[in-house]
Amino acid sequence: MFVGHYSASFLGKAAAPRVPLWVCILAAQLVDVAWAIFILTGVERFHLDPSLPSNPLVLDHMPYTHSLVATLGWAALAAAAVVAAGYGSARAALVVALVVVSHWGLDVLVHRPDMTITGGEPKLGLGLWNQPTLAFALEVLFLAGAAGIYTVAARVDERTRRAVVRGVAVLIVLQTFTMYGPIPPSPTALVLSVLTSFLVLTWLTARAERQLTQ
């Protein structure tokens, strides 16, 4: 899953208003940021199969990022970082941890069976990627639905609401390009583009939040 993960970011922000949205944006993809770094350093492995629908990913080995046990570890790390940064209560830490963990559950929905509990068998995944239209609809529905819930629940002002709508639109364009655009020329190119997207999206969110509070 790609932009659908950000549904958890918006719900997290609604549940823990003192935590900046950019923290929730990074938290939702923390596992994939780690995955990109672990792929680049050879700790985890994947290869491309251009014949596959939705995306060419064959995720051979990713026990340290996409097993449930590892995801809980990343969630604990994120919770500790939230406490250390002074973003509020135990509730804020718990909310951010849940945003991190949501990544695993949402990935199980779309991934072909490559998700694990502890890193080995069984391999889980409902494989919605094999039905691109359904997978695309799910990503957009989750994202737009959660963003809508956030704007209502947090009673955001008009400027913020417009910024959220713009952000969601940008994410839907990115999702469309990822799913229906050209396949990256190499695994490294794919990983670098994925990592860049996550970091730039986090930075853009932080920048928008700064502008909105000025």
Q: Which residues bind Zn ion (CB under 5 A)?
A: 32, 107
Residue among 32 and 44 whose Cβ is closer to Zn ion: 32
Give dist(CA 14, CA 11) in Å, integer.
Answer: 5
Give dist(CA 156, CA 152) in Å, integer.
Answer: 7
Residue among 32 and 139 whose Cβ is closer to Zn ion: 32
Q: Please, which residues bridge with residue 45 across strands?
A: 61
Closest CA to 34 of 44, 24, 25, 46: 44
> E strand or H helix at 47, and its extent?
strand 45-48
Residue among 57 and 164 whose Cβ is closer to Zn ion: 57
Residue among 10 and 46 whose Cβ is closer to Zn ion: 46
Minimum CB–partner distance for residue 153 and Zn ion (Å): 26
Minimum CB–partner distance for residue 104 and Zn ion (Å): 8
Please check whether residue 36 is in contact with residue 25, taking contact to mean a CB–CB distance below 8 angstroms: no
Minimum CB–partner distance for residue 7 and Zn ion (Å): 14
Minimum CB–partner distance for residue 31 and Zn ion (Å): 5
Give dist(CA 2, CA 198) in Å, integer.
Answer: 10
